[in-house]
Amino acid sequence: MRKKLCLYLLLAGLLASSLTGCGGETVPETETAGTTETVEEAAAETDYLQSLPEKTFDGAVFSMIGPQNNARQTFALEEETGEPINDALVRRDILVEDTYQADIQTLLVNEPHVTVGNAILAGDAPYDVVLGTMIQTQKTLALGHQLTDLQTLPYLQPAREWWCAASYDTLMLNDHLYMTTGPITPQYYFAPAVMAYNHTLAGNYGLPDIDQIVLDGGWTLDLFKTYTADTSRDLNGDGVMKLSDDQFAYAYDGGVTANGMFVSCGNSFFGYDENGKITVDLLTDKVLSDMERIHAILSNETITMDGFAAMSRYGAVQKCENLEFAAGRALFVGNSIANMMEFYRDMEDDYSIIPCPKADEQQEDYRSYANPWCLGGVGVPMNITDPEKTGYLLEVMAYISYETVRPEQYDGMLKNKMARNERQHLLLDLIFDNIFYDLNQIFDFGGSAVMAQNALISRYDTFASDYARIETKIQTAIDEVLLSLAE
């Protein structure tokens, strides 16, 4: 009972400190800190933890390895710094350590798949959890038979809301789940590919209330095409649209944006048949039609600017779409939330973050492509020595992260600092409620995903014939991956 009371009290403090997350209103200290009501509320929040068997681990090490971007945190620093997300991570780790008598250790490395892979080959098992990009870290380790099927770990429930249920639905390989994500790492909140638009420029062009159009379900690819058709300006009059000189209708981040627009139209780069077998079919009438419409927008250099390509063209050290939008020289920008948080937070003009457009108004929901290059992938090495400890502590940490770190990252950072009014909070909910992880964007079966991405942004019109030539290769690649994993 003493252990649970400690858990309730510590969690109560964390919850009280994060109550500024919704609507920007801080509850007075006298109404939250140290009251019986707060402890009871915290106890209610830990119902799931109460359902788990009571365990302590006598100071056993729980080791996590992964990369960390200076602007986007993965692990807690050694102590609180006054930065809300770091401090929430610090308090989460202390809570887990004190309650379950574990020693959480973290190691920052740029290529965790190399470090973990080498350790496994050497017969060592120093790591319980490996974080990183799904497209590199988890994929490399999975193909090397170096990751555990997460469904086999005791206590772990990756389909629950404190993980990312959407990734559970779309990252299965022959009923095995080698990677997931969720609030256990703040990096999860940087993954969605989205758009933003400049309110000042939209007003100058007489555009209607785009926020409300999105919320009403009317944000479509055709409407986006209309709004970008006549909103570029050759400001210096030299007849050439050029970085830093002119104003673009749409500045975007190459493949991330192209994939985001493709998925937002209700498409995916892969699927499962009725038996759960992975399939890839990118020659349907709908796919080809949507690709053609997206390509017509992205390949028109009189209205759009591919920031990734412009980096090499102009020798820029930052992605050029960020520079253009932050400077007020682009009406719309397409990117992942990671870049928006890093570059647009202090932007002078007001702006809104919105989902990429739907194919049409008949499409029921918006859908948000998750960038697999985001650092938020979570996996477990195949040679862990104590699955009971790893599964238990990973599940506990995920649940506590959902209750304590999530409010600081999602409600605090994204909603209160990035989104600038209540309607924009609703827009963010639309984005995260419909997040989509695409398995083929991670494994690129037979080169099909990269070919489709290139067709979306490049100035050529031979995708159908090019794709037809690799269809056999695609199925062979799928079969080889699944056979390899089954060995």
Q: Render pLDDT for 245-299 as a digit per residue (tens, 0 to 9).
A: 778 899 898 889 999 999 999 999 999 998 889 999 999 999 999 999 999 999 8
Q: Summarize the confidence of residues 419-434 as an average pLDDT.
A: 89
Structure-model confidence comparison of residues 228 and 232, the more confident one: 228
Q: Reply yes or no on whether the pLDDT at 232 is more than 90.
A: no
Could you tell me if 151 and 142 are in contact, meaning their C-beta atoms sit under 8 angstroms apart?
no
Task: Flag whether 159 is in a domain.
Answer: yes
- Which CATH number does the domain housing residue 57 bear? 3.40.190.10
Please tell me whether residues 123 and 146 are part of one structural domain: yes
**pLDDT for 259:** 96
65 phi and psi, to 5 degrees? -125, 145
Render pLDDT for 55-104 as a digit per residue (tens, 0 to 9): 999 999 999 999 977 667 889 988 999 999 999 999 999 999 999 999 99
Q: Reply yes or no on whether the pLDDT at 325 is more than 70.
A: yes
Render pLDDT for 354-407 as a digit per residue (tens, 0 to 9): 999 999 999 999 999 999 999 999 999 999 999 999 999 999 999 999 999 999
**pLDDT for 69:** 72
Please tell me whether residues 12 and 114 are part of one structural domain: yes
Could you tell me if 291 and 266 are in contact, meaning their C-beta atoms sit under 8 angstroms apart?
no
Please tell me whether residues 213 and 331 are part of one structural domain: yes
**pLDDT for 312:** 60
Task: Flag whether 89 is in a domain.
Answer: yes
Please tell me whether residues 22 and 98 are part of one structural domain: yes
Render pLDDT for 10-22 as a digit per residue (tens, 0 to 9): 555 444 443 333 3
Task: Flag whether 428 is in a domain.
Answer: no
Please tell me whether residues 200 and 114 are part of one structural domain: no
Please tell me whether residues 210 and 119 are part of one structural domain: no
Task: Flag whether 425 is in a domain.
Answer: no
What is the C-alpha to C-alpha distance for residues 426 and 431, in angstroms, rounded to an integer?
Answer: 9
Structure-model confidence comparison of residues 412 and 177, the more confident one: 177
Q: Summarize the confidence of residues 172-185 as an average pLDDT.
A: 94
Please tell me whether residues 73 and 121 are part of one structural domain: yes
What is the C-alpha to C-alpha distance for residues 267 and 262, in angstroms, rounded to an integer?
Answer: 6
Please tell me whether residues 133 and 153 are part of one structural domain: yes
Task: Flag whether 434 is in a domain.
Answer: no
What is the number of structural domains in the chain? 2
Task: Flag whether 343 is in a domain.
Answer: yes
Task: Flag whether 431 is in a domain.
Answer: no
Q: Reply yes or no on whether the pLDDT at 311 is more than 70.
A: no
Q: Reply yes or no on whether the pLDDT at 428 is more than 90.
A: yes
**pLDDT for 24:** 35
Give Cα 273 to chain centroid, integer Å: 26
* Residues of the domain holding 356: 193-369+444-486
Please tell me whether residues 270 and 395 are part of one structural domain: no
Render pLDDT for 109-137 as a digit per residue (tens, 0 to 9): 999 999 999 999 999 999 999 999 999 99
Average model confidence (pLDDT) across the chain = 87
Task: Flag whether 154 is in a domain.
Answer: yes
**pLDDT for 219:** 98
Band (314; pLDDT cuts 50, 70, 90): low
Q: Reply yes or no on whether the pLDDT at 35 is more than 60.
A: no
Please tell me whether residues 328 and 462 are part of one structural domain: yes
Please tell me whether residues 175 and 258 are part of one structural domain: no
Please tell me whether residues 251 and 276 are part of one structural domain: yes
**pLDDT for 72:** 77
